[in-house]
Structure 1
Amino acid sequence: MKEENESLDVFPFIEIIELEKNIEESLTKIRSTISKGNPIMTMIQLHGQKFFNHFGDIEASVYGNVKPYENKLLDFTQSLIVTNDINQGTGCLNKNEITGYLEELDKLFTAASIYVNMAPKDELIKYSQGMQMNVSGTLYPFFEKEHFTDMLSPYTDLLEEIFGITSIEAVEGLLAISKHLRTMGFVEALINSGASPEEISDEVLLNIAEYFNVERITGWPIEFIQELSLQQGECKDFYENDLQVMLKETPIKYKPFIGVGDKYYCFSIDNLIDNFYRTVLRAMRRKKGSISNRINDIQKDLSEALPFKLFKTILPASQMFKSVFYKAPVGANGKNEWCECDGIILFDDVMIIIEVKGGALSPVSPFSDEEAYKKSLNDLAKNPYEQSLRFFEEYKRTGKIDIYHKESKKRYKFTTSIENIKFIQACCVTLDDFNEIASQIEKTEFIQNSDLPVWCVSVNDLRVYPELFDSPSLFLNYLYQRSHATKNPYIKLNDELDHIGMYFAYNDYCTRISEIAKEEDIEEIFIASHRDEIDAYMARKINTDLNDGEGESFYDILFGPAPKPRQEMDFMFEQLIKLLDSTKDHLCIRAARYFLLLDSYSRDNLSEFLSSRSKKLLEFKSRQAILTPYMAFNYKKEDRISELPVITIFLLQASNKLFKDVVQRKRFLMERVLYEDEPTYCILVGMNKNKELTKVITHIIGPEQFQMLPESAYELLKNTRDKIGNSRNIKEF
């Protein structure tokens, strides 16, 4: 039996050796082709190839790059140019050479992907390597101006001191490159040169090269550009062997521009945007090593402030406490010590524990240095989660926690007490994007199993939330649904934004996936990407921004307008949620959150009630008759949903006096709630003559309000309640 097992183990080894041979042979052919052409001309030709391929491909144009080798075409070629000390040609490659180059590149990436999947590594490392090798472009261009203004403005004094450039000039230059490489300017350059895409002479290519000239595009000081550039052949010792070409990070990750003589060019916009912030910081450190501590201090302040700025946009009425301190047992002896938490966000009965890490995700690839990569994940995910967990456990111990702010080294001042929290979420935010693993890290060794749900998110992805969630109730409901997905073993998504797409598609997507697994009796579920609508929407936002608002956007002309992604709801139900949100009252928003927990059947019943009863209400108004339609939910004790209270919704004319008279309204509700011995959420909705919902008030009627009544008042109320109860015709949902 042992011999049989040993023979089975040989086959993967033989296949890996064969794959390594294929990678080596492909690289030999690829290098040979590159050596025949002028490096800048080759890069222009490949840029044109990629541009026109995607120009005619709707899926690629709207959703991004489709084939991995096309996605990494420019990065890979530029990296080979700067790492190979070979004799370069002086002209451009012919059509056959370009075609052969692309075919060989496709074979190379396919072999490398198979190699990664077969390698004797754990699944997390293989997954991360595959994503880094094939994916780029992690920030939507629509956010580039806001993002880099936020990230670089704190460094403006240092940038001026070292390079003679302000942060505003750095951002404007970067945006100019982005606009240059993402719009139709390349086509205009070709047209102006008098050449066709199929036949371009060496002379034309040399003239078009100015289109990619960084100094001409940005106006940046040449010293700054040089510090971000690599000359051809400058990094000839970067790769130790052919396998590293595919498995190690690229040298242009550290310096994105390519220099030839005294001119510097940019071809890969995705590589530039993905790495620009860290590249600028490295450049400043190289030029003036003594400023490292200043950079660290700036980065600490930046990382702690930025997430709260974004959350304030999503939850404007929330309370935010930055850099808080609290007492908790620490160490083996369990002695109470002062502990720090980066921040707490409170919204009604929801608490979000914020821990932020400004440190960099390891720039090395997972396969080239697995230990360094795992250490950076430990720093960016495990450590902040454990800090959040300590705060969570201290709160759960007594159901209350006092927080303080630090006034001096040993002096702490009381800020507030936190209690009566129903839902707690840990949110670990990173300045660096680690999108290729953030959506899966919650189910790895880096996050210990506990009752505290965790949401690991980069600032890049966090920026998307204010754009897609303009409702606090929807966002908080999303967090609730996402917290369940974290614990579901079937849900393994490739991207943070897939969670949003799944939420928009199914609301309670955790339950939906579990039902599918049970129905099909399967152990593993492949979940296709659910971010396509988000990508399409953001693509239009990208183009509108780059178009400076002049006329129709390019994508709109080609494909028509893209609607904002949203969760599909019946019109009346959506109108009710928006009305509750618009009050900015926490109790109304809590009611909206409860309604959003309803399944589609219950939502439809609620919509039908609002629609049909509104017609009746208008009819009875003309007859001068009194009608108060209402419906109750979750009141049947045998079918209770533990996450929801008893909810009763009343539909009234917007002119009804109950909206103004608090005493009359309270008595009206106490007469009609189903139970005296438990809280009931009462939502009064006012409708105008056009059947539009225009007013809403939410009350909680509970046992204490009945207990406070004098005995005579209570008996009178009880008699009225009995009469109403006997005639009650509650519409259920």
Structure 2
Amino acid sequence: MTDNPSSTEPPSPDELWFKALTLKNGGNAEEARKVVEALRQRIENTASQIKDLILAQTPQSLLGFLWGGLLIGVIKQQKAEEVDRPEHNPENLQVALEYVHAVLSCFVGHPEGKNVLEEEAAKEIVRLSEDLRKSTMFYCMATTEYRGGGEFGEETGHVEFTAKTTWVLIRGHRYQVLEEEFFNYMLAPHNEALLSVYGNGAAEIASGVQDIANSMRDGFEHAYKELDRQREIACEQLLESEAPSAEEAIEAYRKDNPELMTKGYAAIQDLFFGGICNLSKHTQLPEPLLQDLAYERGTNTEFFEPGPLCGTLLRTLPARIKPLVKLDDGYYAPDAQFIRDAAYRAIQRGLLARMPGYKEEWNRRQKALTEGAFADIFRGQLSGAEILTEVYYQDPTTGKWVENDTLILLDDVLLQVEVKAGLGAMHSPATNFKNHVRAIQNLVVNAYRQTRRFLEYLNSAAEVPLFELRNGEYIEVRRIRLSDYRFVVPIGLTVESFSPFAAMCKVLPEVEPILGKQPFISMSIDDLFVLNRFLPTTGELLHYLEVRQVVAGIKQVKLFDEFDHLGAYIQKNRFDFTIQEQLAEGMDGLTWDGFSAEVDRYFEGDRWQNEPPPSQPYPDEVKTLLAALAETRAPGWIKADSSIRNLDMDTREKIAEGINTLAPTLRQHPHRYFALDVDPALLLYMCRDNQPDFNGGIRQAEIVSLSLNQPSVMVICFSYRPDGEINKAQGFTVKRPPMIRADYTELLAKAESMKARIVKNVPASGIVKQAVGGKKIRPNDKCFCGSGRKYKKCHGRK
């Protein structure tokens, strides 16, 4: 930072932040406080300038300018071109649009009848929005004290910083195509009440919300096509006109084509005057519902209320509460991103305000819906699972009866789901950290505590009973052994979009792996609809959760939301493996960002309606084998399925090659086999005539374990029908035979001769044990891949 007294340039935000940090480290707290105060005044002044500029413009004209710039910026990004102008940067425009909503909600401002737009002033709004966004981030850094003793002990400062920066960064930029699916599902239990109050049921309201998203997503394209169509019609008719002058021909055209003129005017409004945001024209939602979703101009008094951080991004944007604003010609949604996140609660508040006696019934119906949501949305993937809802047990610590929301048991997998339907954090962490924390605790920590309590109960004895509550009496319905389940996932499910908290929940010091080995996963019902599309089979969903859980247990790595996790999984499969390698290189922390683009791209345009979503590649032969495992569903099949999905593409190709080579020879041999040198070793044992030879598979697996000196081998035994199609497939684990076996010498001799049939040099791509805590790996530590070798001699090799 320059101290030149002749300099007229005010210090930049990063200079102010750095000076405050230097003063703090030097023990000059009072001077540091003054610098931080200067930074606060800077962002307040910037917000005030944005407000004044917005109020000087006609809202519709300004919205047209901002949305036009956003379209150009998105197109440039899609073409991988540099966005070199601030007024085309989607990040800046997103902030500007949110501020248009905020200012219109808080002030009456310029008369709307005059089409006033000063282009330079509009560009300045965008430039100041960029300055505000960056300055606010530096203010978050400057005002966070990395202290202990707060709400989260020694981690309080870290949690506070993460909460503040996430609050500022949550800008959206996601697809808007599944609104109808989400709102139809969430509002369906209240169909009669919605019809009574609004005259529209759940399906009609959901369709109307989707219309909002469609208008903003496709509105420019439709308007342009309409104008282009009219241009062709007008040119043709004017050329054929017999009017004596061009002016008379044009006037005659206008009179003869009133419908075309109306559509053309509407297209111009959409293209240049924010018409795509005008919901009164682009949806059939009833007036009372639009009223409940919208602010009248000047009715929000909190955002610009005098006081610290007045009108800044560190207050609660009005769009978080009501996403629309009423202008003279209709109800507008300046920002598309908050429609999904804010409309659900706005509808709930509006309905209950108009029907006060429905509150208890709303809560009852919504509780039933949300507690069954995970099993319901994934009903295809969880076919055949035992699903227990509202089961009770006695807490061994307190002796009190407590409830578990949903328990899903499938083969050797146990999914425990606790649902929290409380409101999201509406209070900014910069202005009311305590209330912000309370909301997070309700959504995350309380769900974590309930899953921990249940798993600790399962772990309290070799076998424990579960109960149902019938007519006030607890009736035992089942007994359960935790040891029966190889894969256990505690899940906290929220109604609210979880994006603001996904990056920070793992920094909460209390949220540690349960029983020392089961990391906790948080996600929202909103997320499940996307996962359902991208992970349509049992194996895909459970394998994703397996990888997702490992990453949840690594505190040093942050991914912004569920779709960053999903995109990373699609691109890299065991991306937890890559993360561990990066941490092993000495990094203290990692942030993985941008992987959600894999998901977002799928929903651009109409591709999602006609094409399957992107997925990990599998050779056809491997797909067929996985399908056979899922069809047979013999005990242990999910573990076998996972052992294949853990492999990288090269290894999957080797399996396909082995199958293609050996399957035709089953005409001459009753069985064929080949093994892969991965960890644990994998034996593919093929049989003919619908007769899996399990004993033969077990014996060959014992030989493989000796040949590779591994403690166990995963066997996938599958048989073919006479027509050459796989009939049955079963997976099971075989342990290495002990030396005391009478046939040990014979097995050892066969192991030597079998080495030529083992596929060598196969990378262990993600065949990893669960990483708990994400501690830095030292060269002499055991490698994280589970090989048992030292890291420096395994994946630490250069």
TM range (shorter): 0.7 to 0.9
How has the CA–CA distance of structure 1 residues 394 and 69 changed in structure 2, closer, same or farther, with 3 Å as cutoff?
Answer: same
Q: Secondary structure at the match of 2:141?
A: helix
Task: Name whichever of 261-270 and 371-380 sits farther off.
Answer: 261-270
Question: Which residue number in structure 1 is paired with residue 215 of structure 2?
Answer: 180
How has the CA–CA distance of structure 1 residues 620 and 260 changed in structure 2, closer, same or farther, with 3 Å as cutoff?
Answer: closer
Alignment of 1:683-694 (within 5 A): 683-686=716-719, 694=726
- Following the alignment from structure 1 to structure 2, what is the Cα–Cα distance between the partners of residues 606 and 540? 32
- Following the alignment from structure 1 to structure 2, what is the Cα–Cα distance between the partners of residues 570 and 330? 51
Q: Quick one: which amino acid aligns to residue 643 of structure 2? A: Y
Task: Name whichever of 285-294 and 295-304 sits farther off.
Answer: 285-294
How has the CA–CA distance of structure 1 residues 8 and 526 changed in structure 2, closer, same or farther, with 3 Å as cutoff?
Answer: farther
Alignment of 1:687-702 (within 5 A): 694-698=726-730, 700=732
- Following the alignment from structure 1 to structure 2, what is the Cα–Cα distance between the partners of residues 375 and 106? 31
Question: Which residue number in structure 2 is paired with residue 581 of structure 1?
Answer: 630
TM superposition shift of 1:527: 3.1
Q: Quick one: which amino acid aligns to residue 299 of structure 1? A: Q
Q: Please tell me the root mean square deviation across aligned C-alpha atoms, in Å.
A: 4.0
Alignment of 1:286-685 (within 5 A): 286-331=353-398, 336-419=399-482, 420-448=484-512, 450=514, 451=516, 452-519=518-585, 521-540=586-605, 544-545=608-609, 564-569=613-618, 572-598=621-647, 600=648, 604=650, 607-608=653-654, 611-612=657-658, 614-615=660-661, 618=664, 621=667, 625-626=668-669, 628-632=671-675, 644=680, 647-652=682-687, 656-657=688-689, 659-660=690-691, 665-669=693-697, 672-674=700-702, 682-685=715-718
5+ residue gaps in structure 1? 195-199, 550-560, 635-639, 707-713
Residue 56 of structure 2: which of 17, 31, 36 is its match? 36
Question: Which residue number in structure 1 is paired with residue 793 of structure 2?
Answer: none
- Following the alignment from structure 1 to structure 2, what is the Cα–Cα distance between the partners of residues 297 and 75? 34
TM-score after normalising by structure 1: 0.81
How has the CA–CA distance of structure 1 residues 69 and 270 changed in structure 2, closer, same or farther, with 3 Å as cutoff?
Answer: same
Residue 161 of structure 2: which of 126, 148, 158 is its match? 126
How has the CA–CA distance of structure 1 residues 313 and 538 changed in structure 2, closer, same or farther, with 3 Å as cutoff?
Answer: farther
Q: Secondary structure at the match of 1:314?
A: coil
- Following the alignment from structure 1 to structure 2, what is the Cα–Cα distance between the partners of residues 617 and 314? 30
- Following the alignment from structure 2 to structure 1, what is the Cα–Cα distance between the partners of residues 437 and 161? 12
TM superposition shift of 1:632: 4.4
TM superposition shift of 1:233: 1.9
Is the Cα–Cα contact under 8 Å of residues 408 and 416 in structure 2 kept in the other structure? yes
Q: Secondary structure at the match of 2:310?
A: helix
Is the Cα–Cα contact under 8 Å of residues 82 and 235 in structure 1 kept in the other structure? yes
Q: Secondary structure at the match of 2:372?
A: helix
Is the Cα–Cα contact under 8 Å of residues 159 and 507 in structure 2 kept in the other structure? no
How has the CA–CA distance of structure 1 residues 695 and 79 changed in structure 2, closer, same or farther, with 3 Å as cutoff?
Answer: same
Task: Name whichever of 667-676 and 41-50 sits farther off.
Answer: 667-676
Is the Cα–Cα contact under 8 Å of residues 467 and 474 in structure 2 kept in the other structure? no
- Following the alignment from structure 1 to structure 2, what is the Cα–Cα distance between the partners of residues 620 and 261? 78
Question: Which residue number in structure 1 is paired with residue 44 of structure 2?
Answer: 24
Identity rate, percent = 18
How has the CA–CA distance of structure 1 residues 96 and 358 changed in structure 2, closer, same or farther, with 3 Å as cutoff?
Answer: same
Deviations 1:555-576 (A, max 9, x none): xxxxxx8x84333556654553
- Following the alignment from structure 2 to structure 1, what is the Cα–Cα distance between the partners of residues 570 and 613? 11
TM superposition shift of 1:616: 5.4
Task: Name whichever of 257-266 and 91-100 sits farther off.
Answer: 257-266
Question: Which residue number in structure 1 is paired with residue 91 of structure 2?
Answer: 68
How many residue pairs get aligned? The number is 675
How has the CA–CA distance of structure 1 residues 612 and 16 changed in structure 2, closer, same or farther, with 3 Å as cutoff?
Answer: same
Alignment of 1:211-250 (within 5 A): 212-241=277-306, 243-246=309-312, 247-250=314-317
> Is 1:731 aligned with 2:757?
yes
Is the Cα–Cα contact under 8 Å of residues 56 and 109 in structure 2 kept in the other structure? no
Q: Secondary structure at the match of 1:277?
A: helix
> Is 1:100 aligned with 2:124?
yes
- Following the alignment from structure 1 to structure 2, what is the Cα–Cα distance between the partners of residues 425 and 56? 41
How has the CA–CA distance of structure 1 residues 607 and 173 changed in structure 2, closer, same or farther, with 3 Å as cutoff?
Answer: closer
Is the Cα–Cα contact under 8 Å of residues 423 and 496 in structure 2 kept in the other structure? yes
Deviations 1:355-398 (A, max 9, x none): 00111112222222211110011111111111111111111222
Q: Secondary structure at the match of 1:405?
A: strand
Task: Name whichever of 21-30 and 451-460 sits farther off.
Answer: 21-30
Question: Which residue number in structure 1 is paired with residue 16 of structure 2?
Answer: none
Is the Cα–Cα contact under 8 Å of residues 138 and 433 in structure 1 kept in the other structure? no
Question: Which residue number in structure 2 is paired with residue 552 of structure 1?
Answer: none
Q: Quick one: which amino acid aligns to residue 446 of structure 2? A: N
How has the CA–CA distance of structure 1 residues 92 and 189 changed in structure 2, closer, same or farther, with 3 Å as cutoff?
Answer: farther
Q: Quick one: which amino acid aligns to residue 412 of structure 1? A: I
Q: Quick one: which amino acid aligns to residue 347 of structure 1? A: L
- Following the alignment from structure 2 to structure 1, what is the Cα–Cα distance between the partners of residues 89 and 380? 33
Q: Secondary structure at the match of 1:592?
A: helix
Is the Cα–Cα contact under 8 Å of residues 428 and 454 in structure 1 kept in the other structure? yes
Q: Secondary structure at the match of 2:551?
A: helix
Is the Cα–Cα contact under 8 Å of residues 37 and 93 in structure 1 kept in the other structure? yes
- Following the alignment from structure 1 to structure 2, what is the Cα–Cα distance between the partners of residues 449 and 612? 39
Q: Secondary structure at the match of 2:178?
A: helix
Is the Cα–Cα contact under 8 Å of residues 631 and 731 in structure 1 kept in the other structure? yes
Alignment of 1:144-159 (within 5 A): 144-159=179-194
TM superposition shift of 1:415: 3.6
Q: Secondary structure at the match of 2:123?
A: helix
- Following the alignment from structure 2 to structure 1, what is the Cα–Cα distance between the partners of residues 441 and 123? 43
Deviations 1:204-246 (A, max 9, x none): 6599666544333333332222232222222245422472322
Q: Quick one: which amino acid aligns to residue 716 of structure 2? A: I
Is the Cα–Cα contact under 8 Å of residues 614 and 687 in structure 1 kept in the other structure? no
Question: Which residue number in structure 1 is paired with residue 140 of structure 2?
Answer: 116
Question: Which residue number in structure 2 is paired with residue 554 of structure 1?
Answer: none
- Following the alignment from structure 1 to structure 2, what is the Cα–Cα distance between the partners of residues 201 and 142? 27
5+ residue gaps in structure 2? 1-21, 146-156, 232-263, 760-798
Deviations 1:259-300 (A, max 9, x none): 234733333222222211100011122223332222221221
> Is 1:255 aligned with 2:322?
yes
Q: Quick one: which amino acid aligns to residue 157 of structure 1? A: E
Is the Cα–Cα contact under 8 Å of residues 355 and 428 in structure 1 kept in the other structure? yes
How has the CA–CA distance of structure 1 residues 25 and 681 changed in structure 2, closer, same or farther, with 3 Å as cutoff?
Answer: closer
Is the Cα–Cα contact under 8 Å of residues 44 and 309 in structure 2 kept in the other structure? yes
> Is 1:80 aligned with 2:129?
no
Is the Cα–Cα contact under 8 Å of residues 324 and 403 in structure 1 kept in the other structure? yes
Deviations 1:331-378 (A, max 9, x none): 3xxxx3322100111111111111001111122222222111100111
Q: Secondary structure at the match of 1:344?
A: strand
- Following the alignment from structure 2 to structure 1, what is the Cα–Cα distance between the partners of residues 366 and 523? 18
